[in-house]
Structure 1
Amino acid sequence: MSLLAPLSPAVAPTGHTIDDAAGVLEGRKFCILTGAGISTDSGIPDYRGEGAPKNHPMTFTEFMGSDARRRRYWMGAHLGWMRFHHARPNEGHLAVADLEQRGIASGVVTQNVDGLHHDAGSQRVVDLHGRLDRVRCMDCGQSYARSAIETQISTQNPGFSDLVDEDMVRPDGDVEVAEGIDFVVPSCDLCRGILKPEVVFFGEFVPGSVFQHAQALLSQSDALVVAGSSLVVNTGMRLVTQANKRRLPIVVINRGPTRADQVATIRIEGGTSESLSALRHAVRDSLA
């Protein structure tokens, strides 16, 4: 089953402003749903934004079914990890954390795997697609810190990291690499089993318990704000559908069309860093 669904046709600009969004959200506690667009200002590219890499990410079936594809994945993932790991929260992440700390936002559900909401200080974070900083053995279930696996890879593949091309880092921390390069794939210290980052690959199901946590956060909210996501991934759109069924106000902030445009109460065409920062201050003003 694919996690992806097609975008609806582009809609005309609405002319909505941050003040319009603040007016709709005034007096309401809202849940924030974020996508790759919120992390672009931290140096992590968007799959579908301008300048995004064109290659499709590796699927779960490919990763689990082929030694060669698994080897290629870990080669690219290792090369991309340093830039990905050193990314820092931007003003959008900080705005989300501030809104939560002031009790205005109920929390954040993110489709990203970069952990930047945690780094920004958000306390109630649902990582819909997992986090890259953890790795799990698919055979025995042992969990590892990504840093430990990176140490193993560096030790077994001295000099390999010199091949990195930082301009090719993808949103999932992967990098496209040339074929024919010697590389030792990391394995579980306990059982020598297959290691996989604790993220949801394309074609893989989001764990039911994780989605239930996202639903619970939305159920405690009076509105939904979508920031930096086209909502092509079905798990995010399911939350929008639930909010729409409850007749909750839906504010969408994104560059380019989204699948929620036709049900959005407010639709703002713009970047997430500046828009969420402005919303943070506008909502504060409306509560003064």
Structure 2
Amino acid sequence: MAQKFVPEAAEICEKSIKKFVSLVGSVEKLLVISGAGISTESGIPDYRSKDVGLYARISHKPIFYHEYMSSYQCRQRFWARSFLAWPQFEQAKPNVNHYSLAKWEKSKRFLWLITQNVDGLHLKAGSRKVTELHGDALNVGCTACDYTESRQAYQERLSKANPGLEERRLAPGEVAPDGDIILRSGIEKANQLNKPIFVVNIGPTQADDLAAMKLDLKISDVLKEM
């Protein structure tokens, strides 16, 4: 089912991949930024991909922080869907992309990995030089105090408080990915400092016009050559 959420990519061009690998190989230091696309091969859909992204398949939209904090109904909706989606989300495993980037840490060229994802798959794959911009979905915390607990423990409490709800099931693929963040300003800063930017993503990104090279391919088709 994992490949079901990988959007259709451009035809693989060995010449382009070799050029991309050569350009990346010439860079002295590497900072990697990953987003939802890296986890689609683990069965977690992204939001925006054509035909297979969450927006393309269902009408539900993410709840923003200010909505969550100001509306009891929004919080109910959030946790109801989170409760139903958790079993599938929690079972997701790292894929070849996560493991490949974890191995990159052994290189002196590797600086850091910044991920927009909350699935924890980079850490599960062994990455340690990683910053999770949005935190992770594996733990929950009270918004009024410092109390925290594991998401699984909270799932068990939700189950006891809502008997019968767990009998409902989301359709396969309704598990939401992470949120995303506007990275354009940081990417522009790197460009101003003459730092080369390389992009591997199926579909457009905010950095396409600044990239030294962009490949519209599955990340696994590129990483296996690096």
Same fold (TM > 0.5) = yes
User: Contact 1:107/1:122 (CA < 8 Å) preserved in 2?
Assistant: no
205, 213, 217: which one aligns with 1:258: 205
Kindly indicate whether the alpha-carbon contact (under 8 Å) linking 1:80 and 1:166 is maintained by their aligned counterparts in 2.
no
Q: Using the alignment, how far apart are the partners of 2:221 and 2:91 within structure 1?
A: 22
- Other-structure match for 1:206: none
Gaps of 5+ in 2: 1-10
CA distance, structure 1, for counterparts of residue 185 and residue 177 of structure 2: 22
Q: CA RMSD in A?
A: 1.9
Q: Deviations over 1:72-123 (max 9, x none)?
A: 1100001111111110011111111111123342221001110100011111
Q: Which range is displaced more, 153-162 or 72-81? A: 153-162
Match of 1:205 in 2: none
Give 1:146 shift: 1.1
Distance 2:17 2:157 in 1: 47
Q: Which runs of 5+ in 1 are unaligned?
A: 1-12, 173-200, 202-231, 280-288
- The letter of the residue matching 1:171 is P
Matched, 1:132 2:117: no
Q: Spell out structure 1 runs of 4+ moving beyond 3 A.
A: none
For 1:53, give the aligned amino acid: L
Could you report, residue by residue, the CA deviation over 1:201-252 in whole angstroms, capped at 9, with x for unpaired residues? 6xxxxxxxxxxxxxxxxxxxxxxxxxxxxxx731x32331221121111110
Pairwise CA distance, 1:141: 2.2
More RCO (CA 8 Å, sep 6+): 1
- Rounded Cα–Cα distance in structure 2 between residues aligned with 1:275 and 1:64: 41
Would you say 1:112 and 2:60 are equivalent positions?
no
| Counterpart-to-counterpart distance in 1, 2:169 and 2:99 | 30
Identity %: 35
After TM superposition, give the deviation of residue 277 of structure 1 in Å: 2.2
Q: CA deviation at 1:143?
A: 1.7
Residue 32 of structure 1 is matched in structure 2 by: 32
Partner of 2:98: 93
SS in structure 2 opposite 1:96?
A: helix
Task: Give the 3-state SS of the residue equivalent to 1:107 in structure 2.
Answer: strand
Q: Report the TM-score, using the length of structure 2 for normalisation.
A: 0.85
CA distance in 2, matches of 1:267, 1:97: 22
Offset of residue 259 of structure 1:
1.5
1:244 counterpart (191, 198, 203): 191
Aligned partner of residue 131 in structure 2, secondary structure: strand
Q: With structure 1 as the length reference, what TM-score do the two structures score? A: 0.68
5 Å-filtered alignment, 1:36-115, equals: 36-50=36-50, 51-54=52-55, 55-115=60-120
Corresponding residue pairs, total: 207
Counterpart contact for 1:20–1:266, Cα < 8 Å: no
Shift of 1:18: 2.3
CA distance in 1, matches of 2:90, 2:41: 15
CA distance in 2, matches of 1:121, 1:166: 30
Tell whether 2:221 aligns with 1:270: no
Aligned-partner SS, 2:53 = coil
1:217 aligned partner: none
**Counterpart secondary structure, 2:138:** strand
